[in-house]
Amino acid sequence: MTETANLARRLMRAHETAVLATSLTDDGHPLASLVLVAADYDASPILLLSDLAEHSKNIAADNRISLLFDGSRGLASPLTGARLSVQGRALRDDGDHLRQRFLRRHEDAAGYADFADFAFYSVDVSRGHLVAGFGMIEWIDGAELLFQDADGGQLAAWEADAVAHMNEDHGDAVQDYAQHLLGATGTGWIMTGCDGEGCDLRRGGEVLRMDFDTPAEDGDSLRQRLVTLAHSARAAGAGKS
């Protein structure tokens, strides 16, 4: 995998919202909508949409979509920041691990996820267009953009236990990850998900992404990554005191 594909995938995994572009059913004009998003184990976007929304009506007629992940917010010069437009098809998918991945990231959505008009979608990614600052612009094929080493069945088997274990038994390590490795402030950080490339953290409306240096292939290697990062975070914290 190229470094540009890795950068693009990190953008996809790091963001909890994206701009969804669909085509209006009456005249084909583009419609842009802000949506909540989560990432599957291979980084494919996961959406929870209401059938009553205009974008869902558009998808029912033409499921080709684009999703914009904006990494430029907060920069003094936004156009120097990275952003990624992902093209693909939105497909209804009631897979349990997609539901769990999404609701762990967006806990509030559990209040309406079971309403009759809501449905989960997976995005079958065809390609991505990365702009990572001036002069760094590249189309990336979907096969390269996604994390090909992801084994969804195996990852789903250990993710829930790993997240629960970290939050219930090692909350101090989660705080250390946020504060000493990722530069966050405040307490109350929790882990909301893990995949082969890293973990997701949340504190209220703030989200953080903690990437692994090397991918985890199974539960044992995931635990090794988390232990190693906990030692690094503790050492970093001790160095600041």
Kindly report, residue by residue over 188-227, the tens digit of the pLDDT. Answer: 999 999 999 999 999 999 999 999 999 988 888 888 999 9
| pLDDT-derived band at 151, boundaries 50, 70, 90 | low
**Comparison of pLDDT for 241 and 170, the residue scoring more:** 170
Q: Could you give the angle at which helices 219-240 and 152-169 cross, rounded to 10 degrees?
A: 40
Is 70 a residue whose pLDDT tops 90? yes
Is 158 a residue whose pLDDT tops 90? no
Is 133 a residue whose pLDDT tops 90? no
Region for residue 38 given its phi and psi (left: phi exceeds 0; alpha: psi -120 to 50; beta: otherwise): beta
> Which domains occur in the chain, in start order?
3-148 (2.30.110.10), 153-240 (3.20.180.10)
Give me the torsion for CA of 227, 44, 164, 116, rounded to 10°: 170
Is 23 a residue whose pLDDT tops 70? yes
Q: For residues 78 and 72, is the Cβ–Cβ distance under 8 A?
A: yes
Is 139 a residue whose pLDDT tops 70? yes
In this predicted structure, what is the pLDDT of residue 240?
72
Mean pLDDT of 23-43: 96
- What is the average pLDDT score of the chain? 93
Kindly state the helix (H) or strand (E) to which residue 225 belongs, with its residue range.
Answer: helix 219-240
Is 155 a residue whose pLDDT tops 80? no
In this predicted structure, what is the pLDDT of residue 46?
98
In this predicted structure, what is the pLDDT of residue 113?
97
Phi, psi of 99 (to 5 degrees): -60, -45
Write down the pTM of the prediction: 0.93
Mean pLDDT of 81-91: 96
Q: For residues 84 and 142, is the Cβ–Cβ distance under 8 A?
A: no
In this predicted structure, what is the pLDDT of residue 102?
97
In this predicted structure, what is the pLDDT of residue 220?
86
**Comparison of pLDDT for 48 and 239, the residue scoring more:** 48
